[in-house]
Amino acid sequence: MNPTATHPQWLFIAAAKGLQGYVLRSDPLKEMIGASELIEALPRAKDTGFLVKVLGQMQPDLGRHTVLTDASGAARILFDREEDARRLARICPLLTSQFAPGLEMAVALVEVKPDELGAAIVQAEHEINTHRNQPAAALPEAGPWVARNRRTGLPAAQCVPALKDEQRKTGKQDVVDDESARKRQAARWTSGHTLLSKVVPEEYQNAADDLRNLIPKHDKDWPRIKRWPLDLTQIATSDNSYLAVIHADANGLGTAMMACTKQLQQSKQAAQTYTALCDAIEAASLAAARAAMRRVIKTTLQEEEKANQSQPGRHGDPWPIPVRPIVCAGEDFTVVIRARHAIQFVADYLAALEQETEARFKLISEKGDLREPIPGLEPLTACAGVVFCKSHFPFSRAYALAERLCGFAKKQTERKASALAFLRLKSSLLPSDDCEVVVQHAFHAGSGPDRVALTMNPYLCGGRSLDGLPKLSDLLSLVKALDSKEDGKELPRSGLRSLVSRAYEGKTAADQAFERLSQVVKERDPAAWEKLGAALKQLTGGGLWKSVPDDREGRPKSITPLYDALELRHLGCKPTETTP
């Protein structure tokens, strides 16, 4: 790198467009994993990435260049020679369409005058954002007699072996488009190990015990490949079991990044600072993902070991790790996970993201000799949406709802704290794709003064608190109180079901059912009722309801967390001693 160059340089930026849409274009988990692998390899201008091969083919005529960043579907390279930058800008979109069919690439090329790299970065990022909003035409257009991929609707180009679950039913081949075929090929060749190697904790990649080395070494490493599900049913355990689709997104990172890049215009160390900032964001997000993955992996291996010890001589397939990361691109994190692990997974991720960014944003450094505070950048918070659904529910719809739940949590917290909102889908017939409409349809009951909401979503996680919003740790304490057993007795399930049913009639009916339940439980088990009352008090201030000071027409005046707790209890989401 030559930040004090006396001659003009050229900044090249290439950024993939619509990463989430590309990954989620079709529902099979195997295709989503293949798409993630292609995105991981695409921007890499170092090691074994796609761009490093392109730059290698430009040798020996390629002049001096410096890779500033190459992550999250984007690469930023500083060239000394204009002809090198322009040559790469011409061929990059074409080669991208061959490497990852269906993925669009936006390219920007900006001249960098001496000591003005900060201004060039701002200009290039603006051009990239402009290009991202320009739709590209799909050419050539397919005629009316062309066969199409029945999952995506795109024109078919190949016949490939059917997915395992379909082959079991039909034994036929799939007619697919180039994009789907390439995704399946990438998943088959890599087994998803590129993304997994980033988010799986180090102790489960290089363990002394070979059974705890979980990353596939090659495409024939079947014991390790079987550890990571390629079918949603493997995650949910059966067609009738629940899995969770999680989408998490950092609060205000784009705005903060733009503010920082504008301030870099006055910095003489703009290149080093910008690279260190991008590296810090990626390192923090990956460390948070590893922290969340660690608990799920540890729990699964412990349960497997316990089962093997209870059945001496048992030699079956290794247990699948019931979580599959799909997207981990900077501030975006999308995961499919077994239902009972979901809430704890999100809580671990959000808490770790706050801690990791706080540690990395105080001071960033490069090679140990640059120390420069990042102006205008605070530790990140994030919000998440969690949708619980059956394995056969259309994944794209579940993801869209999770994304909107994430947005709902951001709106309620005003992007000032980490929080999650969750929803269990009991039917494929949704009244709307708008999460607020779905929540209102599912959880709002009664009319007039009796109108209530049977949910308190979203729930705060991490280290920041906001007045008026409940904490996830308090909700999980309520789950524990509902699940507690004293002297072998538990809270009467019939009474809880009756309470929920009566709550849909309105506040008065729910109060009557709650009073009857209290009488029964106090007689049977006063200690259990005391625990339940204490847990409710943390969320409502005392009693079943919390009053909501809202004068808007038709809005609930009272809300309760009891239904949320019963949902998590039903799904098996239990608290741990270290829930953030």
Q: Would you place residue 159 in the very low, low, confident or very high pLDDT band (cuts 50, 70, 90)?
A: confident
Return the pLDDT at 368. 42
Q: Given the structure tokens 């997915």, which residue do they identify?
A: 163
Task: Give the span between the Cα atoms of 330 and 279, in whole angstroms.
Answer: 10
Q: Could you please report the per-residue DSSP string of 432-475?
A: -S-HHHHHHHHHEE--GGG-EES----EEETT---TT--BHHHH
Backbone phi, psi, residue 66, to 5°: -130, 130
Return the closest-CA partner of residue 190 out of 159, 247, 230: 230
Q: Could you please report the per-residue DSSP string of 277-335?
A: HHHHHHHHHHHHHHHHHHHHHHHHHHHHHHHHHHSTT---PPPPPSEEEEEEETTEEEE
Return the pLDDT at 330. 73
Count of C-beta atoms within a 10 Å radius of residue 314? 9
Tens digits of per-residue pLDDT, 257-306?
A: 776 766 666 666 777 777 878 888 888 999 999 999 999 999 999 988 88
Does residue 41 have a pLDDT over 50? yes
Return the pLDDT at 59. 76
Q: Which residues, in sequence order, are CB contacts of 393 under 8 Å at separation 6+?
A: 425, 428
Query: CB–CB of 242/339 below 8 Å?
Result: yes
Q: Which position has the higher pLDDT, 523 or 139?
A: 523
Tens digits of per-residue pLDDT, 519-542?
A: 888 888 888 888 888 999 999 988
**Do the domains 225-428 and 9-132 match in fold?**
yes
pLDDT > 70 fraction of the chain, expressed in percent and rounded: 85
User: Which residues are bridge partners to 13 per DSSP?
Assistant: 76, 108
Cα-based angle 365, 371, 377 (whole degrees, multiple of 5): 80
Return the closest-CA partner of residue 284 out of 311, 253, 261: 253
Tens digits of per-residue pLDDT, 371-417?
A: 455 555 678 899 999 999 998 888 888 999 999 999 999 999 999 99
Does residue 162 have a pLDDT over 50? yes
Return the pLDDT at 157. 87
Q: What Å distances lie between residue 254 and 129, 247, 251, 331, CA to CA? A: 11, 17, 8, 9
Does residue 309 have a pLDDT over 70? yes
The DSSP secondary-structure symbol of 528 reads H
3-class DSSP string for 31-85:
HHHHHHHHHHHCCCCCCCCHHHHHHHHCCCCCCCEEEEEEECCEEEEEECCHHHH
Tens digits of per-residue pLDDT, 438-489?
A: 777 778 777 777 778 889 999 999 888 888 899 999 999 999 888 876 555 6
Query: CB–CB of 384/459 below 8 Å?
Result: no
Task: Give the span between the Cα atoms of 533 and 535, in whole angstroms.
Answer: 5
- 13-22, 173-182, 211-220: least confident range: 211-220
Query: CB–CB of 195/187 below 8 Å?
Result: no
Q: What Å distances lie between residue 169 and 150, 229, 468, CA to CA? A: 16, 19, 52
Q: Give 464: exposed, middle or buried? Use CB within 10 Å, 0-12, 13-18, 19+.
A: middle
- 148-162, 204-218, 562-576: least confident range: 204-218
Tens digits of per-residue pLDDT, 478-518?
A: 998 888 765 556 677 778 878 888 888 888 888 888 888 88
Mean pLDDT for all residues in the chain? 82
Does residue 121 have a pLDDT over 90? no
Q: Which residue ranges make up each domain of the chain?
A: 9-132, 225-428, 472-571
Return the pLDDT at 406. 94
- 11-20, 240-249, 469-478: least confident range: 11-20
Return the pLDDT at 432. 66
Q: Would you place residue 426 in the very low, low, confident or very high pLDDT band (cuts 50, 70, 90)?
A: confident
According to CATH, the topology of domain 9-132 is Alpha-Beta Plaits (3.30.70)
How is domain 225-428 classified at the architecture level of CATH? 2-Layer Sandwich (3.30)
Query: CB–CB of 390/240 below 8 Å?
Result: yes
Average pLDDT on 78-100 reads 90
Task: Give the span between the Cα atoms of 174 and 30, in whole angstroms.
Answer: 14
Return the pLDDT at 244. 96
Count of C-beta atoms within a 10 Å radius of residue 263? 17
Q: Which position has the higher pLDDT, 109 or 331?
A: 109
